[in-house]
């Protein structure tokens, strides 16, 4: 009896997951820096809805109502946010490629979500740490049936050039650019330094080295602003008793700030940076949208970022985007632009037609699970 409940429940779960598609979009709102004034967040629903208002013109506008897979308010903990991602970590261990993106304007909390608070405190550690920890945990639990190996790479994309963040710098030279970028065989950057890791602590040390090497420059918005995309990749290889091998990778991507050029009041090098960032972020949006719409042509080759992640975007791969929001009134414009980007890449709305068609099957399964549970309870 119990086995059947588990099995039917699983079937239901899989159908629901399948209907949701392989692209999930979440929104995270950070705590406000300005407690005195009213911010832009009007309402957060438990079902993933979000209503934004312009504090200068506070009437409700149906255009400013958004729906995501989930919305995390300012009090959400790192663990709560990670819980939604956890099933995908299991997928990585089962052989699926997964990309996790942090998107949003500078100062909206991207690095907080991925790495945790600056200074590397042990408390509130971010997605990178929690994900790696989980990979090693699952590996340990499966050690009797599967032997796993892990390797890490870390690169950044700055002005459409890829740099190796883990290369040794013994000669005092800059962290090298990488030219070879392929998309076959799963390893898109064969020339980027790759280190084996056997524990979360190992991986953390490489992450620290990579973070130190990130190009950081100042803009009018934030003097610690990251103007490059950073990509931490964990390559997983699993071997079972029969000798068959499974390969996959997990990409943890802290994207460059999405703020528009005018806002940053930039010229020269800063302007060039901003233009590269805008272009690559809109290419990423185009690729994810094309995948969600199941287009026959996916424009991977329009940016280094999508080119590099080609094998992990689309097909069987799974994608998660966290859209980060700064709740202060003066961020209203950027917040709307972030949420519109997130709405565009979200398959939730695009998937509604399919959801309706198949909902009778879901309902039937749900009823079956409930009645099996009742029957089981009667027996005990
Ligand atoms: P970004 O990487 O998008 O530029 P940061 O992650 O650096 O933004 O966040 C900006 C500031 O806000 C940092 O001081 C960070 O510690 C803080 N912060 C961001 N998100 C949160 C959060 N959810 N809880 C507490 N502090 C946060
Ligand atoms: Mg950052």
Tell me the per-residue pLDDT of 195-206, one tens digit each, with 9 for 90 and over.
Answer: 999 999 999 999
φ, ψ (nearest 5 deg) of residue 50: -150, 130
What percent of the chain clears pLDDT 70, i.e. is strictly above it? 79
Q: Is the CB of 107 under 6 A from ligand 1?
A: yes
pLDDT at 225 over 60: no
Q: Looking at ligand 1, which residue's alpha carbon is closest to its atom 10?
A: 107
The rounded Å distance from CA 80 to ligand 2 centre is: 20
What is the model's pLDDT at position 282?
A: 95
What is the model's pLDDT at position 81?
A: 96
What is the model's pLDDT at position 9?
A: 63
Q: Is the CB of 229 under 6 A from ligand 1?
A: no
Alpha-carbon gap, residue 334 to 40, rounded angstroms: 11
SS3 state of residue 295:
coil
Confidence tier at 128 by pLDDT (50, 70, 90): very high
Stretch 263-289: mean pLDDT: 84
Burial class (CB in 10 A: 0-12, 13-18, 19+), 56: exposed
Nearest atom, ligand 1, residue 117 CA: 16
Which of 128-132, 238-242, 271-275 bottoms out in mean pLDDT, i.e. has the lowest? 271-275
Q: Is the CB of 133 under 6 A from ligand 1?
A: no
pLDDT at 61 over 50: yes
The rounded Å distance from CA 222 to ligand 2 centre is: 10
Which of 84-98, 175-189, 191-205 bottoms out in mean pLDDT, i.e. has the lowest? 175-189
Alpha-carbon gap, residue 166 to 174, rounded angstroms: 11
What is the model's pLDDT at position 268?
A: 78
Whole-number CA gyration radius for the chain: 22
Which comes out higher in pLDDT, residue 123 or 205? 205
What is the model's pLDDT at position 186?
A: 56
> What ipTM does the predicted assembly reach?
0.99
Alpha-carbon gap, residue 132 to 203, rounded angstroms: 8
Mutate to test the pocket of ligand 1, among 103, 107, 324 (most ligand atoms within 8 A of CB): 107
Q: Is the CB of 108 under 6 A from ligand 1?
A: yes
Which comes out higher in pLDDT, residue 77 or 363? 77
What is the model's pLDDT at position 119?
A: 61
pLDDT at 13 over 60: no
Nearest atom, ligand 1, residue 78 CA: 23
Tokens of 211: 């973070």
Q: Looking at ligand 1, which residue's alpha carbon is closest to its atom 16?
A: 117
Confidence tier at 345 by pLDDT (50, 70, 90): confident
Q: Looking at ligand 1, which residue's alpha carbon is closest to its atom 18?
A: 109
Q: Is the CB of 117 under 6 A from ligand 1?
A: yes
What is the model's pLDDT at position 100?
A: 97
3-state DSSP of 54-121: ECCECCCCHHHEEECCEEECCCCCHHHHHHCCHHHHHHHHCCCCEEEEEEECCCCCHHHHHHCCCCCC
Ligand nearest to the CA of 228: 2
Confidence tier at 218 by pLDDT (50, 70, 90): very low
Alpha-carbon gap, residue 313 to 298, rounded angstroms: 10
Q: Looking at ligand 1, which residue's alpha carbon is closest to its atom 12?
A: 109
The string of pLDDT tens digits covering residues 64-85 is: 888 888 999 999 999 999 999 9
Alpha-carbon gap, residue 137 to 93, rounded angstroms: 11
What is the model's pLDDT at position 46?
A: 82
What is the model's pLDDT at position 26?
A: 95
Alpha-carbon gap, residue 67 to 49, rounded angstroms: 4
Q: How far is CA 377 from CA 31, 184, 372, 374, in A?
A: 44, 52, 9, 5
What is the model's pLDDT at position 174?
A: 53
The rounded Å distance from CA 180 to ligand 1 centre is: 34
Q: Looking at ligand 1, which residue's alpha carbon is closest to its atom 19?
A: 109
Closest CA to 346 of 271, 291, 280: 291
- Summarize the chain as % helix, strand, coil (round to 5): 40, 20, 35
Mutate to test the pocket of ligand 1, among 26, 30, 115 (most ligand atoms within 8 A of CB): 30
pLDDT at 99 over 70: yes
What is the model's pLDDT at position 221?
A: 43
CB–CB of 175/167 below 8 Å? yes
pLDDT at 162 over 80: yes
- Can you give the pTM of this predicted structure? 0.84
pLDDT at 371 over 90: no
| Binding-site positions for ATP | 104-111
Q: Is the CB of 109 under 6 A from ligand 1?
A: yes
- What's the mean per-residue pLDDT of the chain? 83
């Amino acid at each position: 009896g119990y086995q059947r409940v588990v099995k039917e429940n699983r079937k239901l779960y899989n159908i629901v997951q399948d209907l949701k598609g392989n692209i999930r979009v979440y929104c995270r709102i950070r705590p406000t820096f300005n407690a005195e004034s009213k911010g832009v967040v009007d309402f957060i629903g438990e079902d993933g809805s979000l209503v934004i208002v312009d504090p200068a013109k506070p009437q409700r506008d149906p255009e400013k109502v958004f729906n995501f897979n989930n919305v995390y308010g300012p009090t959400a903990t790192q663990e709560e946010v990670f819980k939604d991602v956890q099933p995908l970590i299991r997928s990585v261990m089962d052989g699926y490629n997964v990309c996790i993106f942090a998107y949003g304007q500078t100062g909206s909390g991207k690095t907080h979500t991925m790495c945790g608070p600056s200074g590397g405190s042990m408390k509130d550690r971010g997605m990178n740490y929690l994900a790696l920890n989980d990979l090693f945990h699952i590996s340990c639990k499966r050690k009797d049936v599967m032997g796993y190996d892990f390797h890490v790479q870390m690169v950044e994309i700055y002005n459409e050039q890829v740099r190796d963040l883990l290369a040794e710098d013994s000669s005092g030279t800059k962290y090298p650019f990488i030219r070879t970028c392929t998309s076959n065989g799963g390893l898109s950057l064969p020339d980027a330094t790759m280190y084996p890791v056997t524990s979360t602590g190992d991986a953390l040390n490489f992450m620290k080295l990579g973070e130190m090497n990130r190009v950081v420059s100042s803009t009018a918005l934030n003097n610690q602003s990251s103007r490059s995309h950073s990509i931490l990749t964990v390559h997983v290889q699993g071997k079972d008793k029969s000798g068959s091998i499974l390969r996959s990778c997990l990409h943890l991507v802290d994207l460059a700030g999405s703020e528009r050029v005018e806002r940053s009041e930039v010229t020269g090098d800063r302007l060039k940076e901003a233009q590269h960032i805008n272009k690559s972020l809109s290419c990423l949006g185009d690729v994810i949208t094309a995948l969600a719409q199941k287009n026959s042509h996916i424009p991977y080759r329009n940016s280094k970022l999508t080119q590099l992640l080609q094998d992990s975007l689309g097909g069987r791969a799974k994608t998660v985007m966290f859209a980060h929001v700064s709740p202060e009134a003066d961020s209203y414009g950027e917040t709307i632009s972030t949420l519109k980007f997130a709405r565009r890449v979200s398959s939730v709305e695009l998937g509604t037609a399919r959801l309706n068609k198949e909902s009778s099957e879901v309902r039937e399964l749900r009823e079956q699970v409930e009645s099996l549970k009742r029957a089981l309870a009667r027996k005990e």
